[in-house]
Amino acid sequence: MTDFSTTTLGIEFGSTRVKAVLIDRSYRVLAEGVYDWENSFNGGYWTYAHDEIITALQQSFASLQANVRDRFGAPLTTVGAIGISAMMHGYVALDENDRFLVPFRTWRNTTTGDAAKALTERFSFNIPERWSIAHLYQAILNGEPHVGDIRALTTLAGYLHYRLTGERIVGVGEAAGMFPIDSAICDYDKTMLASFDALVADKGFPWTLREILPAVKAAGQAAGTLTAQGALLLDPSGTLQPGIPFCPPEGDAGTGMVATNSVRPRTGNVSAGTSVFAMVVLERPLSKVYPEIDMVTTPDGAPVAMVHCNNCTADIDAWAGLLLDFAKTTGLPLGKDQVFGALYNTALAGDIDAGGLTAFNYLSGESITGVKNGVPLLLRPRGSKLVFANFARSLLFSALSTLRIGMELLWKEQVAIDCLYGHGGFFKSANAGSRMMAAATGSPVTVMQTADVGGPWGMAILAMYLLDGKTQSLPDYLAQRVFAATEKTTVAPQEADTAGFAQYLKRYKAALPLEKAAETLLYGEG
C-alpha cells in the first residue's frame, strides 16, 4: 500500500506514552509509533515541560513514519484525516503570543480544592479538582499574576490541535472536562458562564470566560486542516504535506468510549492504566450533585457519569520495577513482561481476600477518599499471609478500591449498566484484570480485541467518522460498521472473587485513617 489518502491517523498523549496509530477504511491498524515519557513534579505541580511536549509529538510521528516505511516501503506524505487526543483536564494558559504563562498543570494535581468546592456550590454542579475551570479559579484565588495576561485557556489536546491547525477548538467530550456542558446545545452552559464572569467581575480581567475558552465541536464536525507550519511541527523532515482535515480533538475519556463502543445509554467503559476511570452513558440525570462523580459527555454530547481516580497501576509498576531490579541483581533472566505477567496471573491463585494484606496505591492524592497527598502503603497485620500470590492480589485489589467506592454511588442511583468494556494496561495479562475488575464493579467486563491499541485507535476512528460517518449517528456508526465483527471476551463476576473483594474493601475503608495519618506525618495537615 502506497496510497494513504484514505487512511486516518490518531495521536494520543497518555500519561506515560504518546502513541500514533494509522488505520485503513476497515479500521485495521496499519502502523504505529510510540514515545515514552513521564511527568515531573516541579514548583508544586505535576507537569510536562513544553519542549518535551513538542518532542513527544515529533518523535511519536517519526516512529510511525519509520514503521510505515518498514512495512510499506514508502513514506507517509498524506492521510485522509487526523485527530489529536490527550489526557483530559488540566491547565494550559497562553498569552497573546501563544506562550505558556505557567508550565502545563496536569489532571494529576490536587491543588484546587478550594476552587472546586466554591464553584460546585455556586453552580450546583460538581466541579472536580482536575477540571480546567478549577485550575483557573484557584489561580485567581491564589492571586497569581499571570491570570490577567491569559488570552487563551485550553487543554493539552486543544493546545496541540491549535499548533497544528491554527484553530482554537476542542471536542465536546474534551470541553466537558474544562467547563460544564449543556448537552442540548453541545456547548458550554451559558448560565454558568455568566455566573463565573459575575463571580470574578471585581478583578477587572480583560477577558470573559467564553472569550478565552476554545470553541466546541461534536464528533463528525470539521475542525480545521493541517497548516504548513503545523506540518513542519509534526514532521520536521517536510515529508508530510499540509491540507489534511482534522476532526475535533478529544480527551482520553472520549477516545476510550469510542474504542470500546460505549457511547449509547446503558453502556459503560472502564479505562485502567496510570489512572482509572469508569464512564457510564446515562438514561436520565442523577438525582443530586455528587462530589465523587464527574458529569461529562460522549464525543457526540450525550451525558455521562464518570468516576475518576488518580491512581491505578502506577504502584503496581513501582513494585514490578523492584522485582525487576531484584532479578537483575541476582542474575535471573526475567523481562518486564514476565514480571507483570507473574504479578497479574499469580494474583488469581491468592486467597480470595488477599490473605489479610491491604495496600494503598496512592502515589498522588485522591479526592474521592479525601486524600490530598499520596502515601503508598502495604499493611500486613498479625495473622495475615504474606506470600507472593496474596501480595499480588492485594496490589490489584488496591488499584480498584477507590473506583469501587465511587461506583457505589451510581448503584444508589440505580444507574443501569448492561456491560462494562475494559481497556488499558490493567487488562493486558490474560483475564486477570477482567476478573478483578468484575469483582470490584459487580458487572460483566468485556475486553475487545482492539483493547490493546485503545485511545489512539479510538481517535483514529473519530477521524474516520469525520470522513464517512455523516449519514449515521456516532452510536450507529460504531455498532454497525466499526464493531460489527469484532471479537470480544466477557468475564462475569465470580462469587468467590466478589466476596473476597468485599472483605478486602471493608479493611481498606477501615484503614483509610492510617493513610490520612501517614499523609499528615509526611506532608503536614492535608
Report the percent of the chain where pLDDT is more than 90.
84
Residue 21's beta-bridge partner residues? Answer: 10, 32
Give the confidence band of 454 by pLDDT, cuts at 50, 70, 90.
confident
Residues 317-341 have a mean pLDDT of 95
* pLDDT beyond 80 at 339: yes
The answer as to whether 72 is a domain residue is no
Residue whose C-alpha cell is 480581567: 205
Residue-wise pLDDT for 264-314, tens only, equals 999 999 988 888 989 999 988 899 999 889 899 999 999 999 998 989 999
Q: Does any domain span residue 355? A: yes
Cα 344 from chain centroid (whole Å): 22
Whole-number mean pLDDT of the chain? Answer: 94
Residue 92 pLDDT grade (very low, low, confident, very high; cuts 50, 70, 90): very high
Q: Is the pLDDT of residue 232 over 90?
A: yes
**Same-domain check for residues 206 and 326:** no
- What's the pLDDT at 1? 62
Q: Which residue has the higher pLDDT, 372 or 22?
A: 22
Residue-wise DSSP of 5-32 = TT-EEEEEE-SSEEEEEEE-TT--EEEE
- pLDDT given at position 428: 81
Q: What per-residue confidence (pLDDT) applies to 405?
A: 96
360, 503: one domain: yes
Query: How confident is the model over 95-129, as pLDDT tens digits?
Result: 999 999 999 999 889 899 999 999 999 999 999 99
In-domain check, residue 78: no
pLDDT greater than 80 at residue 430: no
Asked whether residue 189 falls in the same domain as residue 269, the answer is no
Examine the domain organization and report whether 291 and 387 are in the same domain.
Answer: yes
Residue 300 counted as domain residue: yes
pLDDT at 121: 96
Question: Do residues 265 and 133 share a domain?
Answer: no
- Residues 516, 379 share a domain: yes
Distances (CA, A) of 154 to 133, 157, 214: 10, 8, 6
In this model, does residue 359 exceed pLDDT 70? yes
Residue 278 inside a domain? The answer is: yes
Whether residue 278 is found in the same domain as residue 389: yes
| Region 183-205 average pLDDT | 97
What pTM value is reported for the model?
0.83
CA geometry: angle at 213 spanning 211 and 216, to 5°? Answer: 115
Q: How confident is the model at residue 452 (pLDDT cuts 50, 70, 90)?
A: low
On whether both 202 and 335 belong to a single domain, the answer is no
Same domain membership, residue 327 and residue 410: yes
What's the CA gap between 379 and 523, in Å, rounded? 20
- Between 428 and 482, where is the model more confident? 482
Residue 108 lies in a domain: yes
Q: Say how many Å lie between the first and final Cα of the chain, rounded.
A: 57
Residue 445: strand, helix, or coil: strand
Q: What is the pLDDT of residues 132-173, one digit of tens each?
A: 999 999 999 999 999 999 999 999 999 999 999 999 999 999
Which of 196, 212, 228 represents a domain boundary (last residue)? 212
**Burial of 108 by CB count in 10 Å (0-12 exposed, 13-18 middle, 19+ buried)?**
buried
Q: Which three cell numbers stand for residue 306?
A: 464518570
Give residue 515's domain range: 261-449+487-521
- Asked if 14 and 273 touch (Cβ cutoff 8 Å), the reply is yes
Parallel/antiparallel/unpaired status of strands 29-36 and 17-23: antiparallel
Q: What is the pLDDT of residue 486?
A: 86
Q: Is residue 360 part of a domain?
A: yes
Say whether both 275 and 206 belong to one domain: no
Total domains present in the chain:
2
Question: Which of 334, 332, 306, 302 minimizes the C-alpha distance to 320?
Answer: 334
Q: Are residues 412 and 312 in the same domain?
A: yes
Which amino acid makes up residue 91?
Y
For residues 134 and 282, membership in a common domain is answered with no
For strand 267-272 and strand 419-423, is the pairing parallel, antiparallel, or unpaired? Answer: parallel
For residue 197, tell me if it sits in a domain. Answer: yes
Closest CA to 422 of 265, 279, 244, 248: 279
Q: Which residues contact 117 (CB under 8 A, 6 or more apart)?
A: none
Domain of residue 515, CATH code: 3.30.420.40
Residue 228 is predicted with a pLDDT of 98
Find, among 277, 275, 245, the residue nearest to 9 by Cα.
245
**Average pLDDT, stretch 230-238?**
98
Residue 526 has pLDDT above 80, yes or no: no
Sequence-distant (6+) residues with CB within 8 A of 122 are 195, 196, 199
**Per-residue pLDDT reduced to its tens digit, 24-54:** 999 999 999 999 999 999 999 999 999 999 9
Please tell me the predicted confidence (pLDDT) of residue 239. 97
What SS3 state is found at 481? helix
User: Measured between alpha carbons, how far is residue 228 from residues 114, 166, 234 in Å?
Assistant: 43, 10, 10
Cα distances (angstroms) measured from residue 167 to each of 173, 224, 230, 381: 17, 6, 11, 57
Report residue 450's pLDDT band, with 50, 70 and 90 as the boundaries.
Answer: low
Distance CA 449, CA 488 (A): 6
pLDDT digits (tens, 9 = 90+) for 253-263: 899 899 889 99
Residue 352's pLDDT is: 97
Task: Name the band, by pLDDT with cuts 50, 70 and 90, for residue 451.
Answer: low
